[in-house]
Structure 1
Amino acid sequence: MTASAPEANLLSQPLHLPNGSILRNRLAKAAMSEVLGTYENRPTLKLVELYRRWSVSGIGLLLTGNVMIDRRALGEPGNVVIEDESDLPLLKQWANAATGQGAAIWVQLNHPGKQSTKGLNKSNLAPSAVPFREDMAALFETPREATTDEIEEIIQRFGRSAAICKKAGFSGVQIHGAHGYLINQFLSPHHNRRTDEWGGSAQKRRRFVLAVYAEIRRQVGADFPVGIKLNSADFQRGGFTEEESMATIHALAEAGIDLIEISGGTYEAPAMSGTLQETKKASTVAREAYFLEFAEKVRASTQVPLMVTGGFRSAAAMNTALRSGALDVVGLARLLAIDPDAPAALLRGQDSPQRVRPITTGIKQVDQMGVMEIFWYTLQLKRIANGGDPRPDESGLWAFVKSVMKSGWGTFRTRRLRA
């Protein structure tokens, strides 16, 4: 009796996207907040170094962290903003850091809407003037309702930023439609209480994201990849539901989107940090991926390429998920912040020696906020960008204190520079 041949490592297989472009394998680095821009919101050589380090690992797709489309609407101090061509030379270096090694690099384009800390912007807008929950009101101000003219301008800005990304040599763009930022706010009945053409029904709430996609596609053409990061649900009372997400996915697939990354949660209900995953059933834990069950539902009704991010730990689970056909791309984020060389091992069918662990400060109110873990991982990215290595055992409390101090100083400097 002969032994059966080992199953192929599906992670190493290329993926053909609907527009004809090809990803060299099925591993993607999902977006993480780098905040490695200047306080004038320009890119830096640190981003070039960070993305070069990831690209040499052999990964197929790199998605940048939040790149904002408007200097008046920042999510954090140190965000890169692409609204004109003034930084084109450095943007080209950033793009080439990945493409020169054979990886695709897509810029994640975003507008924070209401999800920006107090004092950073002169004011924050949103679909409706809905405040944050009471325990977060000290950090986030109540936004004002966006006017129709402002909505139209934001749509045009998304398109303009995408066109600049194409000119700079990036491989594609990803629209950030998840995690409580502006597009997610328009989709959510909790945040969007408008009664005009931009709200009042699920179909009208979808109109904004479809308009953003259409404008980007108009400005970049059919051959440039455009993807989106979308919540499976907000996990928030009165928020964006799975049923609404499914309908939005179908609308985007029909419009011609190239790749949909499935995620979930907001700063007020941070599923993306793993906080809500403690209550997941045992079968979900065994399969590792947080949003795989929803991806299976999506796959049953559409063949649009899907990327699932969150929870994956082992090469075996990643291959099992790919073999099921429920997804096409495995997204990794936090693992690549503590082990930037992990893709090289995974593409050999081996696991990374590092394991993502819960990051806590010991302060309950802080640990329940989605931004806490973001602070910790951002520090690790900074170390890699400086040519060093991450510190997987770093204290969560120390990282939080250091990041809050830096964020406060960054907010002050950003406001002074724009005064």
Structure 2
Amino acid sequence: MQRTTESVNRRTVLERPLELPNGFVIPNRLAKAALSEGLGDRDGGPGTRIRTLYRRWADSGVGLTITGNVMIDRRHGLGEPGNVAVEDDRHGDQLRSWAEITKSGGSRAWVQINHPGRQTPRTLTPHPVAPSPVALPGSAKLFATPRELTGAEIEDLVSRYATTARIVTDAGFDGVQIHGAHGYLVSQFLSPLANQRTDGWGGTPEKRRRFVLEVFRAIRAEVGADVPIAIKLNSADFQKGGFGHEESLEVVHALAAEGLDLLEVSGGTYTSAAMLGVDVSLRESTRRREAYFLEYAEKVRAMLPQLPLMLTGGFRTADGMVDAIESGAIDVVGLGRPLTVQPDFPADLLAGRVDESVVNPRRSGIKLLDNLTELTYYTVQMWRMAKGKEPAPDRHAAINVTQYLLNNGIESLRSPRA
């Protein structure tokens, strides 16, 4: 892309602060989206490796940093090896250090809170729980069929989300994001395929969205009105008979009525990975304009013009980001994979030193390896930074996959990552 004075001047729109309805201010329009780091200690604490990684990102230039998913149950609710889990105050000092490091360069810091439900490998949770006893499609060898949650267990999980939110914000994080996308527990409750209950938690769209609304209300009661609560939500899960655009818009409307502070738009599950840009349902025109779910964001904007919107998935160029903001469709650009390869990309982009990300994982030419590369490539780059090294974007894909297998084992290859 040829750099011009006009192109550099246009990106000043990305430098503008964003004030949320509750008065919370995000310093600029670029955010580090959640990326599951896989760097937690064996007891679920955010040890030195994850803090080293976030120290490298502290001066990245983003106005908002959202952590990778932090789980609410260390015993039965890990989605993959290395998840951080917060259910009590035992890691308070580490959490305070993590928050301080993340904010040391001027970024605001939010924690993404999550539970995997049925999306947890057998080796981590041999007896997972979910809204209904419906197995993850096509994954019987890696993921066990879940047990249906009882009503009392659902109420306990709602409380756990709130407890985790209170602990991390007390530790110094500025806000929280509920992970309601990509096939995790909240997404499972919303999906008519995964949630086949006929009680007060399923059977109709209104009852399917009860869980996420109760989670939101419980968190708000714990953290108060001044702490931002966001959600990452699927525009659709891109599965026949699943959670679609119309029902998703109804969920957004209901959350907005409760006082949602920011919506991050995503889409897909790990059996239909639209969020990675590899799903065949994404039209080539969508890929060219970078923002995979912009049309959905435009529908939300028309329905709820005052709700702040963040869009993640596909952004690679300054012009693409500026166009999305200037169009009025979104307020914040989410960046994930570019920050694993170019940790200084946002700062360089705002300063006019670069115009686009160089995200371009090397393919091996072997089909099996290429299917794994899209996830392992970026994870390994984070692991390098967690050791105090710089990313190695040109390293052969086979080396990355081998390193990933040595760290996490073959059972984690189908595990959720973002």
Q: TM-score range by the shorter chain?
A: over 0.9
- From 277, 289, 292, give the equivalent of 2:291: 289
Alignment partner of 1:115 is 2:119: yes
Q: Using a 3 Å threshold, how does the CA distance of structure 1 residues 84 and 361 change in structure 2: closer, same or farther?
A: farther
Alignment partner of 1:138 is 2:141: yes
AA partner of residue 80 (structure 1): V
The separation in 1 between residues aligned to 2:360 and 2:239, in whole angstroms, is 24
Higher mean C-alpha deviation, range 326-335 or range 281-290: 281-290
Matched-pair contact (CA < 8 Å) for 1:289–1:311: yes
The normalised TM-score by structure 2 is 0.92
User: Residue 358 of structure 1: CA displacement?
Assistant: 5.3
Q: Deviations over 1:233-267 (max 9, x none)?
A: 10112211011111111111111011110001111
Q: Deviations over 1:203-262 (max 9, x none)?
A: 100000000000000000000011010001101122110111111111111110111100
Higher mean C-alpha deviation, range 387-396 or range 292-301: 387-396
Alignment partner of 1:387 is 2:388: yes
User: Residue 357 of structure 1: CA displacement?
Assistant: 2.7
The separation in 2 between residues aligned to 1:159 and 1:118, in whole angstroms, is 27
AA partner of residue 283 (structure 1): S
Gaps of 5+ in 2: 413-418
Consecutive aligned runs of 4 or more in structure 1 exceeding 6 Å deviation: none
Higher mean C-alpha deviation, range 393-402 or range 77-86: 393-402
User: Residue 279 of structure 1: CA displacement?
Assistant: 5.2
AA partner of residue 88 (structure 1): G
Higher mean C-alpha deviation, range 212-221 or range 49-58: 49-58
Identify the residue that residue 28 of structure 1 maps to in structure 2.
31
Matched-pair contact (CA < 8 Å) for 1:163–1:216: yes
SS in 2 for 1:113: coil
- From 90, 98, 103, give the equivalent of 1:99: 103
User: Residue 122 of structure 1: CA displacement?
Assistant: 4.1
Q: Show the 5 A alignment for 1:170-185.
A: 170-185=173-188
Q: Show the 5 A alignment for 1:157-172.
A: 157-172=160-175
Higher mean C-alpha deviation, range 245-254 or range 282-291: 282-291
Q: Using a 3 Å threshold, how does the CA distance of structure 1 residues 406 and 256 change in structure 2: closer, same or farther?
A: same
Identify the residue that residue 415 of structure 1 maps to in structure 2.
none
AA partner of residue 137 (structure 2): R
AA partner of residue 83 (structure 1): E
The separation in 2 between residues aligned to 1:230 and 1:251, in whole angstroms, is 13
- From 81, 86, 92, give the equivalent of 1:82: 86
The normalised TM-score by structure 1 is 0.92
Alignment partner of 1:234 is 2:253: no
Q: Using a 3 Å threshold, how does the CA distance of structure 1 residues 409 and 275 change in structure 2: closer, same or farther?
A: closer
User: Residue 394 of structure 1: CA displacement?
Assistant: 2.5
- From 219, 224, 242, give the equivalent of 2:222: 219
The separation in 2 between residues aligned to 1:299 and 1:358, in whole angstroms, is 34
- From 341, 344, 352, give the equivalent of 1:341: 344
- From 305, 314, 328, give the equivalent of 1:325: 328
Count of residues in Structure 1 that have an aligned counterpart in Structure 2: 405
AA partner of residue 298 (structure 1): V
Gaps of 5+ in 1: 412-419
Identify the residue that residue 397 of structure 1 maps to in structure 2.
398
The separation in 2 between residues aligned to 1:249 and 1:52, in whole angstroms, is 34
Matched-pair contact (CA < 8 Å) for 2:361–2:397: no
Identify the residue that residue 280 of structure 1 maps to in structure 2.
282
Alignment partner of 1:378 is 2:373: no
C-alpha RMSD of matched pairs (Å): 2.1
Alignment partner of 1:124 is 2:101: no
Identify the residue that residue 414 of structure 1 maps to in structure 2.
none
Q: Using a 3 Å threshold, how does the CA distance of structure 1 residues 325 and 252 change in structure 2: closer, same or farther?
A: same
Q: Deviations over 1:328-355 (max 9, x none)?
A: 0000000000000001112124535642
Q: Show the 5 A alignment for 1:354-373.
A: 354-357=357-360, 362=365, 364=367, 373=374
User: Residue 388 of structure 1: CA displacement?
Assistant: 1.1
